[in-house]
Structure 1
Amino acid sequence: MRTQVVSTLLRARPSTVSRVTPRLVRLSSNGQHQETFESFTERYVNFFQSAEDLFEVQRGLNNCFAHDLVPAPAVVESALRASRRVNDYATAVRIFEGIKAKVENKTQYQAYLEELKPVREELGIDTKDDLFSL
């Protein structure tokens, strides 16, 4: 029984899933170029690291969340750091709302929260649920 629970949790962890399955993310307009999940992740991590203002951060989040996938924790961490760098706490909180809407179930959302807990604590970011329970 315990083995089943652990294996279920491991399968639900977003970072584990993203490393195991090299999914194709995007086709160009001519239908030939395909982007892997790893290159998608790298592209958005780099984008958020270089974002200099709130408009760029929010534009990047809109583009990132428009794809039919849940961004890897590395992308979320980079976006959180960018939103705090441009001094917009509300966007940082909304990132978690976006993740909650994109995942398939509560277990996956909890896996994201658990994996990003050190970053949340470092940056002082609460989730919407945390804010309303105070």
Structure 2
Amino acid sequence: MSFSLRLARPTLRAIARPGMTSTATRAAGMRFYSDDSLSYEEFTKKYEKEFDEAYDLYEVQRVLNNAFAYDLVPAPTVIERALKAARRVNDYATASRVFEALRYKVETRSQYDAYLAELKDVREELGITLHEELFEKSE
């Protein structure tokens, strides 16, 4: 028997025989999601409440990430509560970035403009400048 074959034989046996570790790995990689889905109205109420209850910057950003992770665009009332929560914890950058996230979340520029028109009073009240206004392109 050649020397290389003697070295390879234990490795081949280990590959051919299913080990307990592969079963454990498969079980550990399984995800358990719930089937519970929210309607748009339930989503809006849930996130309005969560933004009202957010007590620090980490919590505001966590709720923002969760809200924008859904496959829908949050209602203007949710965005308004998010902006007020960001300003309540004194974080201007997060408040400004809410509009950037909104710009990428909507499908068309006209939808984004509709959100801007709806939230114009809140933006003025809180003193939030848009990214486009901060970095205007000069020609």
Could you tell me the TM-score, scaled by structure 1's length? 0.76
Q: Cα offset for 1:132?
A: 1.3
Offset at residue 29 of structure 1 (A): 3.1
The number of aligned residues is 106
> 2: CA distance between counterparts of 1:88 and 1:73?
20
| Larger RCO (CA within 8 A; separation ≥ 6) | 1
The residue aligned with 1:99 is 102
Quote the sequence identity (%).
57
Alignment of 1:12-91 (within 5 A): 29-31=33-35, 33-91=36-94
Runs of 4+ in structure 1 off by over 4 angstroms are none
The CA RMSD over aligned residues, in Å, is: 1.5
Displacement of 1:30 after TM fit? 4.4
Structure (1 or 2) with the larger CA radius of gyration: 2
Distance in 1 (CA, whole Å) between partners of 2:38 and 2:104 is: 23
Q: Which runs of 5+ in 1 are unaligned?
A: 1-27
SS in 2 for 1:35: coil
CA distance in 1, matches of 2:71, 2:132: 25
Within a 5 Å distance, the mapping from 1:4-19 to structure 2 comes to none
Q: CA deviation at 1:35?
A: 1.4
Q: Secondary structure at the match of 1:69?
A: coil
**Which segments of 5 or more consecutive residues in structure 2 lack a partner in the other structure?**
1-31
Change (3 A) 1:83 1:30: closer
More strand by share: 1
Structure 1 residues 37-94: Cα deviation after superposition (integer angstroms, max 9, x where no partner):
0010000000001101000000000100011111000000000000000000000010
* Partner SS state of residue 65, structure 1: helix
Secondary structure at the aligned position of 2:135 is classed as helix
